[in-house]
């Protein structure tokens, strides 16, 4: 008998037939991950003290509402790179935990909603949305969100007005956009909570380089999720979320009026390759 050894829960296919096929498929993959984790725990000779410490910590992550933060900081990078390797779009990047869907739609060359005296250096982001099979895409929707010059996100930090530095921009007939905003500061993972405690205990720094977040959508194209970063940022090489890709690091150009400017073209992948004619 094999009951003394580690084994997957119930072999797939012997489970009662109550889940839909996709849920069953994913559950089977969770089973494979559990198998690997059991093997890793055995390799590491995990003790009861270690098990209980990690169990208490994981419970605290849930109680603090930090599951979205913890998962996106430590795990989204893997799924994101796998998806990127199968796409002809321009470089993608993780979504992270701070997107909110209800920001206003603005003109192709609008000003991001901000406070009357929003701190930070003025920044213009300009470029086009292109198709990976050639040509600009008019009417594409660019959903932009970012932290402020203190590294805080509206909707998550109670001191920031709702909707601050979040907006949607629709490209013009040339597929162009021009977003007026301010330069965000590098972002520090909240340090009072369990995720911050883990970082401190492990001696890992809590920083993400300053970044701008994007969803880019157009009819007939797969949604692109990405981020833009700034050359010279001290945290580019050691992003705690491990998300930086060199294509996404932009060199800000000073303008005569003191505004910092960056240029970037987003390229989208058609949903289905188009046949000839």
Q: In the complex, which residues of this chain contact Fe ion (CB under 5 A)?
A: 96
By CB under 6 A, residue 96 contacts ligand MBD = yes
Cβ distance to Fe ion smaller for residue 101 or 258? 101
Give the DSSP letter string of the chain: --TTS---SS-TTSS-S-S-HHHHHHHHHHHHHHHHHHHHHHHTT--HHHHHHHHHHHHHHHHTT-HHHHHHHHTHHHHHHHHHTT--SSP-----S---S-PPEE-TT-BPP--TT--S-EEEEEEEEEETTSSB-TT-EEEEEE--TTS--TTTSTTS-TTTTEEEEE--TTSEEEEEEEPPPPEE--SSSHHHHHHHHHT---EE--EEEEEEE-TTBPPEEEEEEETT-TTGGG-TT----GGGEE--EE-TTS-EEEE--EEE-BSSPPPP-
Residue 80's binding partner out of Fe ion, ligand MBD, none, with CB under 5 to 8 Å set by partner kind: none
What's the burial of 49, exposed, middle or buried (CB within 10 Å: 0-12/13-18/19+)?
exposed
Nearer to Fe ion, 137 or 244 (CB): 244
207 binds ligand MBD (CB under 6 A): no
Residue ranges in 51-70 that form contacts with ligand MBD under rule CB under 6 A: 69
Pairing verdict, β 122-131 and 266-268: parallel
Instruction: Assess 239 for contact with ligand MBD (CB under 6 A).
Output: no
Residue 235 interacts with, from Fe ion, ligand MBD, none (CB under 5-8 Å by kind): none
Distance of CA 276 to the CA centre of its chain: 35
Which among ligand MBD, Fe ion, none contacts residue 269 (Cβ within 5 to 8 A by kind)?
none
Interface with ligand MBD, residue 187, by CB under 6 A: yes
Q: Indicate which of ligand MBD, Fe ion, none lies near residue 224 (CB less than 5 to 8 Å, by partner kind).
A: none
Question: Pattern 140-179, binding to ligand MBD, x per CB under 6 A?
Answer: ----------------------------------------
Give strand pairing partners of 146.
212
Residue from 106, 241, 244, 268 touching ligand MBD (CB under 6 A): that is: 241
User: d(Cα 107, Cα 177) in Å, to the nearest integer?
Assistant: 9
In the complex, least distance from residue 153 CB atom to ligand MBD, rounded to whole angstroms: 7
Query: Of 168 and 208, which CB lies nearer to Fe ion in the complex structure?
Result: 208
Indicate whether 94 belongs to the interface with ligand MBD (CB under 6 A). yes
73 binds, among Fe ion, ligand MBD, none (CB under 5 to 8 A by kind): ligand MBD
Instruction: Determine the size of the site formed for ligand MBD (CB under 6 A).
Output: 11
What residue is closest to ligand MBD based on CB?
A: 96
In the bound complex, what is the minimum distance in angstroms from residue 203's beta carbon to ligand MBD? 19
Applying CB under 6 A, does 210 fall inside the site for ligand MBD?
Answer: no
Backbone φ and ψ of 59, nearest 5° = -65, -40
Minimum CB distance to ligand MBD smaller for 165 or for 243: 243
Residues that bind ligand MBD (CB under 6 A): 69, 72-73, 94, 96-98, 187, 208, 241, 243
């Amino acid at each position: 008998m094999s009951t003394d050894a580690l084994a997957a829960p119930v072999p797939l296919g012997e489970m009662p037939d109550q889940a839909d096929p996709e849920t069953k498929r994913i559950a089977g993959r969770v089973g494979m991950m559990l198998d690997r984790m059991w093997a890793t725990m055995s390799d590491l000779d995990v003790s009861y003290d270690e098990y209980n410490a990690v169990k208490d910590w994981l419970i605290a992550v849930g109680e603090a509402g930090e599951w979205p933060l913890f998962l996106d900081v430590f795990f989204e990078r893997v799924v994101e790179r796998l998806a990127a390797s199968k796409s002809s779009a321009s470089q993608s990047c993780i979504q992270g935990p701070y997107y909110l869907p209800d920001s206003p739609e603005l003109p192709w060359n609008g000003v991001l909603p901000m406070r009357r005296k929003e701190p930070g250096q003025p920044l213009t982001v300009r470029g086009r949305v292109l198709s990976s099979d050639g040509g600009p895409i008019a009417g594409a929707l660019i959903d932009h969100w970012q932290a402020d010059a203190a590294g805080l996100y509206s909707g998550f930090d109670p001191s920031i007005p709702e909707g601050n530095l979040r907006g949607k921009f629709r490209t013009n007939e040339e597929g162009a956009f021009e977003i007026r905003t301010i330069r965000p500061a590098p972002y520090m993972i909240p340090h009072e909570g369990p995720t911050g405690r883990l970082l401190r205990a492990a001696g890992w720094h809590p920083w993400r380089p300053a970044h701008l977040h994007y969803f880019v959508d157009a009819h007939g194209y797969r949604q692109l999720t990405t981020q833009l970063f700034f050359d010279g940022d001290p945290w580019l090489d050691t992003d705690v979320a491990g998300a930086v890709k060199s294509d996404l690091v932009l060199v800000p150009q000073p303008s005569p009026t003191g505004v910092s400017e960056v240029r970037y073209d987003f390229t989208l992948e058609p949903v289905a390759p188009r046949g000839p004619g």
